[in-house]
Amino acid sequence: MGLSDFITLESEKIMAEFEAFAMQQLPAAADMDVAALRDHARQVLAAVALDMLQPQTKREEREKSLGHATKADGAGVHAAEIHGAMRAASGFDVNQTAAEYRALRASVIRLWMESGPKLGRDEVFELVRFNEAMDEALAASILHFASEAARMRNLFLGVLSHELRTPLSTIMTSGHSLVLAAQQNKPLPAAAERVLRGSRRIQSLLDDLLDYVRSGLGEGMRVSPKDVDMGQVCGKIVAELRANNPGRVIELETLGDPKCVCDEERIAQAISNLVGNALKYGPADAPVKARIDGSAIDQISVSVQNGGPPIPEATRESLFEPLVRGANTEREGYNLGLGLYIVREIALAHGGSASVESDAQAGTVFTVRLPRTASDAASAAFPGLRMN
Amino acid sequence: MVVDNDHDLVDSLCEWIGLSSDWTAVPAYGPADAIAQAGMSPPDIILLDMEMPGADGFETAERLERASGDKHSAILALTGNADLRDAALHDARFTASILKPADPGLLLVLLSSLVPKH
């Protein structure tokens, strides 16, 4: 059977092989919808098969080998452009994006060779066409990956400078007022408080930014696990947030054994982000409910629930992406849209996971699940465990 | 009038203007608050944040202009976003456009050039 016919007829088999390879090779694919991964590879492949069937003159062949394909003959190019932009948005790096093409090419050629085609002049010619179409698609995908990544970087820098400039304004203005008031021997305690609050805000933005940059370098977040009582960790956070949010009700309940092995500071950061979000996005008159569930032997989870309208299903997963912010930002509190991204990075670094569920009855619940100990993480085959 | 959804910044600017001049600065913590106040007692100058949640700065400026009626308050854009600063510079609804952080001393100079002499 010719290669293009083979691709069309055996696409299911190729997809199964490709998926197995992709899941194994691509860490970012672990967080990704399998359907999304498959759908796009299928489109790229279908377009490549179509591309191969187009009549091609000698000149076009040469142009293509030089990377000058025209838009008109490249259905594969279009599918690949979308692919590149999508991968940039899903947190893939450029190597992983290219690896998908390698996987696809390897799967196709291996399975085709296994099917025992007679290798005459036409078959070799088809193989050349296939490789050219794949190269073209890969180049288009990488180009769009790069421009999407640049767009996101600019967006991020814009948000960053905006979020820093407002507290900086407060600090500058209140500082000038304090100097003027001191000359008149007048204390201005409110201005001093604003300077401190503004500085803390800038500090927390910079901390988030550092976590983001570090985790974005492919290293992931580093954690130093120790014996920790999750009940104490959550108790401290809840007490602090209650003090800072008078009038709000924050409940804390513990089921089972709250002891586990984790990086206390990082886990506290994650839970504090979740409870802070629940206070910010949930209605002011509804309680925020935090719950530690240690009833399972090999894992422990912390969930934080708030009331209010459910988050539409389509936008739920993207909440964990960097730079995504919830719709209700009416109330005080600034962020770079990194809070939930950092929560998930912390969970992944422990070999755990972070998820969200939302419906009209139960409200919105964010849950962090952690293996109870590092050996639980290893035995449960959590691939993301990264420890110092 | 100082309009921003960031309370600390509004309070800082009002305090600074109060301490360093003989003008009265009134706070407005959001667009609705600002429009209501401008309707009741139109200020000479409005310092307007361009990025308040749920409000477009240009639209808010237009509504403030209408609310202030015959007074024709001068509206100054105050924003942390350089693109919006530039856009407001070229927009007739704004008398001036300033990038945060505004230097408090220069802000006073600018305000004194705009305050009508009584």
What would the pLDDT profile of A206-229 be if each residue is shown by its tens digit?
888 888 777 766 566 778 889 999
Contacts with B105 from chain A: Cβ below 8 Å: 176
Q: Is residue A87 part of a domain?
A: yes
Contact A332 B7 (CB under 8 A): yes
Minimum-distance CB partner of A158 among B6, B81, B101: B81
Contacts with A173 from chain B: Cβ below 8 Å: 9, 12-13, 15-16, 101-102, 104
pLDDT, chain A, mean? 80
Band (A68; pLDDT cuts 50, 70, 90): low
Q: Is residue B117 part of a domain?
A: no
Q: Which chain A residue shows the shortest CA-CA distance from B53?
A: A330
Chain A CB within 8 Å of residue B55 CB: no
Segment A237-268, tens digit of pLDDT: 999 899 888 889 999 999 999 999 999 999 99
Chain B CB within 8 Å of residue A170 CB: yes
Contact A332 B101 (CB under 8 A): no
Q: Is residue B30 part of a domain?
A: yes
How large is the angle between the packed helices A121-183 and B104-114, nearest 10 degrees? 80
Segment A150-166, tens digit of pLDDT: 877 777 777 778 789 99
Domain check: are A87 and A140 in the same one?
A: yes
- Predicted local confidence at residue A236, as pLDDT: 93
Question: In sequence order, which residues have a C-beta less than 8 Å from that of residue A363 and are 6 or more positions away?
Answer: A282, A286, A305, A306, A307, A308, A310
In this structure, what CATH number is given to the domain that contains residue B36?
3.40.50.2300
CA distance A86 to A137: 14
Chain A CB within 8 Å of residue B2 CB: no
Q: Is residue A33 part of a domain?
A: yes
Q: Å from B70 to nearest chain A CA?
A: 31
Chain B CB within 8 Å of residue A180 CB: yes
Domain check: are A266 and A165 in the same one?
A: no
Domain check: are A203 and A243 in the same one?
A: no
Band (A387; pLDDT cuts 50, 70, 90): very low
Residues 188-207 of A with CB under 8 A from B: 188, 190-191, 194, 197-198
Contact A174 B6 (CB under 8 A): no
Contacts with A170 from chain B: Cβ below 8 Å: 6, 8-9, 12
Minimum-distance CB partner of A166 among B9, B11, B16: B9
The answer to whether the bond into B101 is cis (omega within 30° of 0) is yes
Where in the sequence is the domain holding B38, given as residue range(s)? 2-112
| CA dist list (Å): B117 to A384, B2, B26, B111 | 68, 20, 19, 12
**Residue A22 burial class via C-beta count within 10 angstroms: exposed 0-12, middle 13-18, buried 19 and up:** buried
Q: Is residue A195 part of a domain?
A: yes
Q: Is residue A112 part of a domain?
A: yes
Segment A74-121, tens digit of pLDDT: 555 666 777 676 666 666 667 777 877 888 888 889 889 888 888 888
Q: Is residue A134 part of a domain?
A: yes
Domain check: are A125 and A239 in the same one?
A: no
Band (A311; pLDDT cuts 50, 70, 90): confident
Which of residues B111 and A50 earns the better pLDDT score?
B111
Q: Which chain A residue shows the shortest CA-CA distance from B10?
A: A170
In this structure, what CATH number is given to the domain that contains residue A243?
3.30.565.10
In this structure, what CATH number is given to the domain that contains residue A42?
1.10.490
Chain B CB within 8 Å of residue A339 CB: no
Q: Is residue B56 part of a domain?
A: yes
Mean predicted confidence (pLDDT) in A332-339: 62
Domain check: are A260 and A347 in the same one?
A: yes
Mean predicted confidence (pLDDT) in B34-39: 95
Q: Which of A65-69, A181-185, B38-42, B64-68 has the lowest mean pLDDT?
A: A65-69
- Predicted local confidence at residue A256, as pLDDT: 95
Q: Which chain B residue shows the shortest CA-CA distance from A194?
A: B8
Domain check: are A204 and A238 in the same one?
A: no
Q: Is residue A345 part of a domain?
A: yes
Number of structural domains, chain A? 3
Mean predicted confidence (pLDDT) in A164-186: 95
Domain check: are A9 and A114 in the same one?
A: yes
Q: What is the share, in percent, of chain A residues with pLDDT greater than 70?
A: 77
- Predicted local confidence at residue A219, as pLDDT: 62
Q: Which chain B residue shows the shortest CA-CA distance from A197?
A: B8
Q: Is residue A322 part of a domain?
A: yes
How many residue pairs bridge chain A and chain B with CB atoms within 8 Å of each other? Answer: 82
Which of residues A51 and B31 earns the better pLDDT score?
B31
- Predicted local confidence at residue A59, as pLDDT: 56
Where in the sequence is the domain holding A245, given as residue range(s)? 226-379
Number of structural domains, chain B? 1
Residue A268 is encoded by which pair of tokens? 């506290």
ipTM strictly over 0.85? yes
CA distance A276 to A273: 5
Contacts with A182 from chain B: Cβ below 8 Å: none
